[in-house]
Every structure is written in structure tokens, then in C-alpha cells.
Structure 1
Amino acid sequence: MHVLFLAPEVWPFKRVGGLAEVAYDLPRALAALGHKVGVVTPKPRLSQEMEQGLERLDTVLEVPVSWKRHLAEVYRHQEPSGVEVYLIGHEHLFDREGLYGNAYGDYEDNAERFIFYSRACLELARTMDWRVDVFHANDWTTGLVPVYLRTLYAGDPCLKDAASLMTVHNLGNQGQFWHYDMPLTGLGWEYFVPEALEFYGQINFLKGGLVFADMISTVSHTYAQEILTPELGRGMEGVLMARRDRLAAVVNGIDYQVWNPADDYRLAANYDRHDPSPKARCRQELMGHYGLEDGGGRPLVAVVGRLEDRKGLDLITAGMERFFEVGLNLVVMGYGEDHYHVALGELAARHPGRLGLTIGFDIDLAHRIMAGVDMLLVPSRYEPCGIHQMQALRYGVVPVVRDTGGLADTVVDQRPGVEGTGFKFEPFTMEAMLQTLDRAKQAYDRPQEWRGLMQRAMAQDFSWQAVAPRYEEIYRKALELAGQRQRA
């Protein structure tokens, strides 16, 4: 199959969250199965070194947005895997500090920016004369692509037989804009109705994708059930219930060539599940990096990722003093909401030797943290999939997670009669979190039990090689449904 994978962020060009890794890893796994895979992404502001690694094509796209026609440059990066990454260059719309916004909030022209990007993906396929089998759209920024395939581009010889898959990585972000932006889409007002793009008087890009896509997928089995409920459906539960026969679930994977403690060059020592003992050297190195006190063998707990309410940072910051009473040291690395940056900075200043803090994301340090800590804490309000807990498992780090979404699907709770890979709690409360951390600490104090936990964690297989065949099945189903639609 010829698959075009559409994502606004792709590692290493731009990273806001886990989608960037998915957009890098999944296409490579699909290419390894023999498919022709291209990735299309907006060209962000890049370093000079990254610019030099791009090939500028002679192709210039004319992308309609309302009455205007934007001219866009096309750049290509050839991966050794055979995947071709196409970056759509538009200085005015995408050469900016942030992808979605800056310190003052979302960009006011986001509707125009991502209408342009969605149409540019289709214009690229037309201009290059590709016969794409499946357009794999990801999240709201590409939600209009399935809409356009069924409307403005339905009669195009290159695109008329193409199928679409709409993958929801986070239903919390839907791309809602005021109705006066409707002319920018190029679609008639007949599509501003509840059966199409209209959502409580606004345009909803993701809703368009959910309504018009041939298949819909999300990134864990539990989350696929959760989004059918009013609690986590975010107003889309009715749309999803109506199309649940087309809703599939695939747990994300991680790249075990990149995330492998046995040959990770960033680590103070390499180790595997058969002999995890060298991990102690990685722990010592990390504690030295942050100036942490061992304190008689306190467990070292990491919090990695977005510092925001959804990730349960309110529980963490409010309960920090009690973390130390339980007998834990912490390492926090991430960025997000400013008030958490301030709160964590104040806590680190009050507790030197107990809390190590990095505001920002450093991929090399992320590897060293996973190798050096004992536990990973992920108390998310909701978590469509989550990647960090799978990375932790691979590095023999025991996850302590809330029992929701992909966390529920990837971590087995350690309890009497069940040999688990981590610890889970269900109520979103500080007490439940602290009780579960205490339960994990008790296991940590029993070395034989803890070693078994580590080794079972490291034996799990969440590789993209295990995941990619499931996407093959979904693509085939999408093509079958698209064919039925064409014949109807």
C-alpha cells in the first residue's frame, strides 16, 4: 500500500508531545513491512544544521484558502528506512516559535494555518501524481483531510479512490473555531450543520474527521471505551457511538532500537533483564547530576513529560511534602503550564537533595532518567495511551500509574496472587496516589520481589514491530469501506 501519514509534529523536526515519536516510528515500522510510506508535516523553524539536511524540491504548491492561493515550498528528507518526509514550507504561517501558540496563548490564525496544512497535504499528492491508498490523519490539525477527500477532491483522478483513517491521540483537543472562519475552508455552508462540522455554533475540525473518515482509531483499548462516555467523550461521544462499528484501537509502541538499555550509549552502564544490576551505576550517576542525597536507599521516583493538569501535576505539587515523608526522592523533567514551573522551582529550592528539577525536555537526559530511577509516576486524569510508561518498563523502571486509558492497558498491577509489572490506583485523589506509592515502596524494600518486578517489566513487548500489522488490517478495512462508498 501507499500510505501518506499526516502529522503536525514529527521527530526530530518538531516535538510538542508523543505524536512526534509516533509520526517517526510508525511509518518506519510500516515501511519495514514493504509499504510505501510518506510523511507530510508543516516545516517549522529549524536549526541551520537541520536545514542543511533537507532537499528543496522544484515543486511549488498553490494551496487555496478562501479566496487566496498560498504558495508553498516543498522540502524532502529521505530516511534510511525508505520513508520520505515532506515538509511544507510557508514562512508566514509556520516559521514561528511554537507550533500551536506562544506564551500568550494559541495563535489567532490557527484555523487558517491548519486549513492550509490540510489542503497542502492533498495538493502535494495531486502535484506529485501519487496514487495514495490511505491518508492517515492524526488529531484535529488534519481533521479536514477526510472531509476534503469526500467533498472538494472527490472527483480528482489521483484521490478519488483513496481511503482515510482518522486517529485520535487526544480527544481533549478538537480544533474549534468561530463560524466566521467557515469560508476559509472552501466548503459551502451546507457543511456547517450538526451532521458535519458544526459543534455548538462553532466549526470543529476533529468532528469533521470523525464524521467523514472511512475508519477511526485511537491509541488504547481502554481509551476507545472511555471516549464513548460523557465523562471523557468531550461532546464527541454521540458521534463516536454512531460510528463505533468503524472505531478501532491500537496501543502505541516504542522503538526498541532507540530505547534499549543493553546498548544505550547515553548511559553510565548498560544492562538487560537477565542482569539488571548495572542499573545501580546509572542511578548513582543521575543522583550526582541532580545533587540528590541517597538517604539510606530511598527509592528514586521520576515524573517526565507535560507539566499540566491533565497529567495530574496538581496532585503531585500539592502532595510533594508528603512524598518526602513517605521516604522518596524525586526527579521531574518537563514543561507545560507556567504555574507548575514556579511551584516546582519553589519546592526544589526548599528541598535541596530531595528534588531534582529540569524545566524543558532533553532527549539524552530522558534516557539517563529512565536508566537511573526506580519508579515512574504517572497520575493522569486521563491518558489516551502514554509513551513514558512503556519506556520505563523497558528500562526496568516500575510504573506507578492511574488506572485509565493506555496506562490501564500497558501496566499490570502487582498485588497478592498477581505478578505485575507496576502499581495502579483508580480514584483521582492524592490519598490514592500516596497509598499506591507507599505500596510500591514496600515492594522496593523486598529486593527479591522488586527484582522480579523489574525483570517482568523489561520482558514486555511494546515494539512498533508488534503494532504495525494491526494498522495494516485497519488500512485494508478502510480501503474496503472506501470501495463500497465509491460503488454506492
Structure 2
Amino acid sequence: MRILQVASEAVPWAKTGGLADVVGALCVHLAAAGHEVILALPRYRDLNAPGPEPDSPIVPVSAGPAASVGVRTTGSGTGFDVWWVDAPDLFDRPGLYGTPDGDHPDNALRFATLVRGALGAARALDWRPDVIHAHDWQGALAPVFVREDAKGGQGPAPATVLTIHNMAYQGSFALADARAAGVKRSAALTQGRRVSFLKGGILTADRVTTVSPQYAHEIGTPRLGFG
């Protein structure tokens, strides 16, 4: 089975929390089980392990409003490849999500571009995944965009899975930020007067999972569901 993982972090390259540990381990185990796995990650400025070389081949991709987006491919050394979504204007800066002064103000555009870059690379390289597995709000637009593409007649849609690692972070943005990111307003995404990337993923993915049965129970409660 061909599986495209879309995440904002994974060990050993980039980590702020447990998301990175789970994604990195999952890719290794799926590859060891015989699946063809590709992990899409942003090409951040600061990586904890080697990423692509500056002069490595780059495949230009269409990624919405963001300019100069390409994808570079490297091996992981553990049985799967990594697609690095290379958008210097968005990812060549300090901090994965922000600085001590606060979140990056264009995070909606940054992670919409991550998802579009991953999907665009699959088209450009003619690599058709059977499953697209998105992680947390940063990857949650993947099932949204896959459904939009299917309605637009872009061929059979892959199955989509969204895993919630931390429900407290939902990718909630002002409508203007979503528009600037090229994200269409829809009932699935709208939450009050804002847009929630995580909500959109939950409502459009074929399957929604969490990191454990216990966490699945916890986020179904009023206190930890953050609804």
C-alpha cells in the first residue's frame, strides 16, 4: 500500500512534542511492514538531523497563493522517503510555529502550503497514494483538499485519515487569514467567525483516529474536547 504521511514535525528532523515521536515511529513501522511510505515535512531552517542539500534537485509544485514552492526528496535511512516542502518565504525562519513573542502570523498560509505541496508533489511525480494520513491541525487540510479535488474531477480520491495528537491546538484562524491562505470557507471549516483547520479535517476525513483509546475517550468529554 502507498501511504503519504503529512505532518509538521517528525523525529529525527524536527520536534516540539510527542507528535514528532509518533509520526517518526509510525513511518518506520509501516515501511518495515512492507508499505511504500512517503513523509511530507516542511523544510525548516533549523533541523535536528540532515535534510536535503541546498543544491539537490527540486520539483516545482503548485501550492496556492504561496510563491516559489518546490519539493526535494531524500531517503530517511529507515525504509521510507521524505518529501521536503521547500518554501523559503514561509519556512526559512526561526521556530517551527513561532517565536517566544508568539505564533507566526502567517501560520494559516504556511501549513496550507505544506498540504498543497504534498498533494502537488504526488501529482507532479505521478505517485498515487492509496491513503493520505494527516496529523493534527497542521496536516488537517489534506482531507479537505482531497475532497475538493474529487469534486473538481481530478480522478479517484485516495482514502484519508486524520490523527488527532493534541486537541488543544485546532488551527483556528480569522477569516481573512484563511482567505489569504487560499482556503475556501465552508460549513466544515467554519467555527463561529473563524476557520478551524482541525474541524475541517475531522468532518471530511474518511477516518479519524487518536493516539490512544484513552485519549479518544478524553476528547469526547466537555472539558478536554475543546469544542
TM tier, shorter chain? over 0.9
Is the 1:56–1:74 contact (alpha carbons within 8 Å) kept by the matching residues of 2? no
Counterpart residue identity of residue 227, structure 1: I
* Deviation, structure 1 residue 231: 1.1
What is the distance in 2 between the residues matched to 1:126 and 1:217?
A: 26
What is the distance in 1 between the residues matched to 2:26 and 2:157?
A: 23
* Deviation, structure 1 residue 55: 7.5
Q: Scaled by the length of structure 1, what TM-score is found?
A: 0.44
Q: 1:115 to 1:51 in 2, by over 3 A?
A: closer
Secondary structure of residue in 2 paired with 1:208: helix
- Within 5 A, what are the aligned runs for 1:287-366? none
Alignment counterpart, residue 201 of structure 1, candidates 190, 193, 196: 193
Report the structure, 1 or 2, having the larger helix content: 1
- Please say if 1:181 is aligned against 2:177: yes
Secondary structure of residue in 2 paired with 1:203: strand
* Deviation, structure 1 residue 49: 7.8
Tell me what 1:7 maps to.
Answer: 7
What is the distance in 1 between the residues matched to 2:176 and 2:110?
A: 15
Tell me what 2:63 maps to.
Answer: 63
Is the 1:55–1:76 contact (alpha carbons within 8 Å) kept by the matching residues of 2? no
Is the 1:53–1:77 contact (alpha carbons within 8 Å) kept by the matching residues of 2? no
What is the distance in 1 between the residues matched to 2:99 and 2:222?
A: 31
Tell me what 1:162 maps to.
Answer: 158
Secondary structure of residue in 1 paired with 2:113: helix
Tell me what 2:217 maps to.
Answer: 225
Alignment counterpart, residue 117 of structure 1, candidates 114, 121, 129: 114
Tell me the matched-pair count: 226
Q: 1:81 to 1:48 in 2, by over 3 A?
A: closer
* Deviation, structure 1 residue 232: 0.8
* Deviation, structure 1 residue 117: 1.1
- Please say if 1:132 is aligned against 2:129: yes
Alignment counterpart, residue 81 of structure 2, candidates 81, 84, 90: 84
Secondary structure of residue in 2 paired with 1:231: helix
* Deviation, structure 1 residue 18: 1.5
* Deviation, structure 1 residue 62: 2.5
Is the 2:39–2:83 contact (alpha carbons within 8 Å) kept by the matching residues of 1? yes
Is the 2:38–2:80 contact (alpha carbons within 8 Å) kept by the matching residues of 1? yes
Secondary structure of residue in 2 paired with 1:70: coil
Please say which structure displays the higher CA radius of gyration: 1
Structure possessing the higher relative contact order (Cα contacts under 8 Å, 6 or more residues apart): 2
Tell me what 2:104 maps to.
Answer: 107
Question: Which segments of 5 or more consecutive residues in structure 1 lack a partner in the other structure?
Answer: 236-488
Counterpart residue identity of residue 135, structure 1: I
Cα deviations across residues 269-299 of structure 1 (Å, max 9, x unaligned)? xxxxxxxxxxxxxxxxxxxxxxxxxxxxxxx
Cα deviations across residues 105-144 of structure 1 (Å, max 9, x unaligned)? 1111111111111111111111111111100000000111
* Deviation, structure 1 residue 53: 5.9
133-142 vs 90-99, which moves further:
90-99
Tell me what 1:210 maps to.
Answer: 202
* Deviation, structure 1 residue 206: 0.2
* Deviation, structure 1 residue 71: 2.0
What is the distance in 1 between the residues matched to 2:11 and 2:145?
A: 27
Cα deviations across residues 197-220 of structure 1 (Å, max 9, x unaligned)? 111211000000000000000011
What is the distance in 2 between the residues matched to 1:85 and 1:55?
A: 16
Is the 1:55–1:75 contact (alpha carbons within 8 Å) kept by the matching residues of 2? no
% identical aligned pairs: 38
Secondary structure of residue in 1 paired with 2:217: helix
- Within 5 A, what are the aligned runs for 1:295-444? none
Counterpart residue identity of residue 232, structure 1: L
Secondary structure of residue in 2 paired with 1:63: coil
Alignment counterpart, residue 151 of structure 1, candidates 136, 148, 152: 148
Q: 1:225 to 1:55 in 2, by over 3 A?
A: farther
- Please say if 1:24 is aligned against 2:24: yes
* Deviation, structure 1 residue 161: 2.8
What is the distance in 2 between the residues matched to 1:48 and 1:216?
A: 30
121-130 vs 148-157, which moves further:
148-157
Q: 1:22 to 1:54 in 2, by over 3 A?
A: farther
Q: 1:84 to 1:49 in 2, by over 3 A?
A: closer
Q: Scaled by the length of structure 2, what TM-score is found?
A: 0.92
* Deviation, structure 1 residue 79: 2.5
